[in-house]
Each structure stands twice: as C-alpha cells, then as structure tokens.
Structure 1
C-alpha cells in the first residue's frame, strides 16, 4: 500500500452533517439530504464532493464501533460569505495528510481503510492526528462501479 504525503492548506467547506457511529451508519441519509441542495452553494472551488469524518480526540483508542462521530457531506468554497440556510460550515485546518487511492465500489472502501490502519500506519513514522478525515470524490468517482476512484485523506503527525 502506497501513500502520498501531502501538506494540506486550510479548506473552507459548506455542507451538512449528521451524528452517527460505525454501527448506526447514516451515510445514505446524509448524502440524500445534501445532494439535491448542493447547487445552492455559491463560490464553489470545483465540482469535487467531500465526505468527512470528525472524530473526538482519541476516538480510535480502545476502538468502539458504537462511539458516535460527525459525518459530513460537503463541497469546498472560496469563502464562507454565502451559506445557504439549510447548510453549515466546516474549516479543515492546515496539516499533514497521508493520501491513498481507493479503486472500486464505495461499498468496498473497507478493503482500503483496513490496511491503512492495520498495516501502513503502524509501520510508518506517523500516527493519526486529531483533524478531520476525508475522501475526495471527483469525476472518477462512480459510487458502486468497479472502476470508481476516490482519494482517502488521513490526518497524520510524526510519532513523538
């Protein structure tokens, strides 16, 4: 498994979020409420979609799949001056990320995520940082198509 290490500059996002857990997955509900309204978002940077997870600090210590976190559906914008009434804002701060490519249906993303956390991360000089995790879905993303592609961005920092 190969990672590209990127230094992210702050991203301003507008979208919607929902509280959920890995056991009580509400991703479909979130995206179903976001997608019909995304066209109302002005000053978009591009056509990419962002699927983000905002975890509490140390969320993965003594991992509990019933522990809740925020799941976001969003787009990147140039500024936060015009936010539609039914939307919210999120700023992803600057920081280091490990970027992985997931190829295949979205339903098989666990085949990419598992080796990241079980193999790549423990064998790297990094540890997970307390910033949003996200996937970037551009024109190559085709949901459940076997040829679909999306980038997975994991926040990292050097081990102490």
Structure 2
C-alpha cells in the first residue's frame, strides 16, 4: 500500500454534518440532504466533493463501532463570507496527511481503509493526528462504478 505524504494548507468548507456511528451509517441520508443545497454555494474553489469525519480525541482507543462522530458532506470555498441557509462551515487546519487512492466502488472503501489502519500506519513512523479525516471526490469518482477513484486523506503526525 502506497501513501503520498502531503502538508495540507487550511481548507474552508461549507456543507452539512450529521452525528452517526459505523454501525448506524447515515452517509446516504447526509448526502441526500446536502446535494440539493450545493447549488446555493457561490464561491466554490472547484467541483470536488469532500466527505469528512470529525472524531473525538479518544475515538480510536478501544475501538467501538457504535461510538458516534461527525460526518460531513461539503465543498471547499474561497471564503466564509456567504453561507447559504441550512448549511454550516468547517475549517480543516494545516497539517500533515497520508494520502491513499481508493479504486473501485464506494461500497468497497473498507478494503482500502482496513489496511491503512492495520498495516500501513502501524509500520510507519506516523500516528493518527486529531484533525478531520476526509475523502476527496473529483471527476474520477463514480460512486458504485468499479472504475471509480477517490483520495483518502488521513491526518498524521510523527510518533513521539
């Protein structure tokens, strides 16, 4: 498994979030409520979609799939001057990320995520940092198409 290490500059996002867990996955509900509002966001940087997870500091200690976290559907914007009604803002701070490419349908993303956390991360010089995790879906993303691609960004920091 190959990772590209990137230093991310702060990103300003506008979108929606929902509280969910891995057991009670509400991703479809979230995106279904966000996409109709997307056209009201005027100062987007590009056409990319961002799927983000904001976890608590201890989320991965004694991992529990029923533990809740924030799941976001968003787009990147130039500034936060105009926020359409019923949408929210999220700022992803600067930091180091390990970037992986998931090839294949979104429904099979676990086949990429699992080795990141069970193989790549434990064998790297990094540990997970407490910043949003996210996937970037650009023109290569085709949801459940076997030829779909999306980038997975995992926040990292050097091990102590």
- Under a length normalisation based on structure 1, what TM-score does the superposition of the two structures give? 1.00
- Structure 2 gap ranges (5+): none
Matched, 1:126 2:126: yes
Q: Could you report, residue by residue, the CA deviation over 1:80-105 in whole angstroms, capped at 9, with x for unpaired residues?
A: 00000110000000000000000000
SS of residue paired to 1:123: coil
Q: Where does residue 36 of structure 2 map in the other structure?
A: 36
Task: Give the structure 1 partner of residue 113 of structure 2.
Answer: 113
Q: After the TM superposition, which segments of 4 or more aligned residues of structure 1 sit over 2 Å from their partners? A: none
Q: Which residue of 2 aligns with 1:3?
A: 3
Aligned pairs for 1:80-95 within 5 A: 80-95=80-95
Q: Deviations over 1:7-61 (max 9, x none)?
A: 0000000000000000000000000000111010011000000000000002101
Q: Which residue of 2 aligns with 1:138?
A: 138
Match of 1:19 in 2: 19
The match for 2:104 is: 104
Following the alignment from structure 1 to structure 2, what is the Cα–Cα distance between the partners of residues 36 and 109?
25
CA shift for structure 1 position 2: 0.2
Matches within 5 A, 1:64-83: 64-83=64-83
* Number of residue equivalences: 160
In the alignment, structure 1 segments of 5+ residues that lack a partner are none
Q: CA RMSD in A?
A: 0.3
Structure-1 separation of matches of 2:8 and 2:65: 28
CA-CA distance at 1:68 after TM superposition: 0.3
For the residue of structure 2 that corresponds to 1:47, the secondary structure is: coil
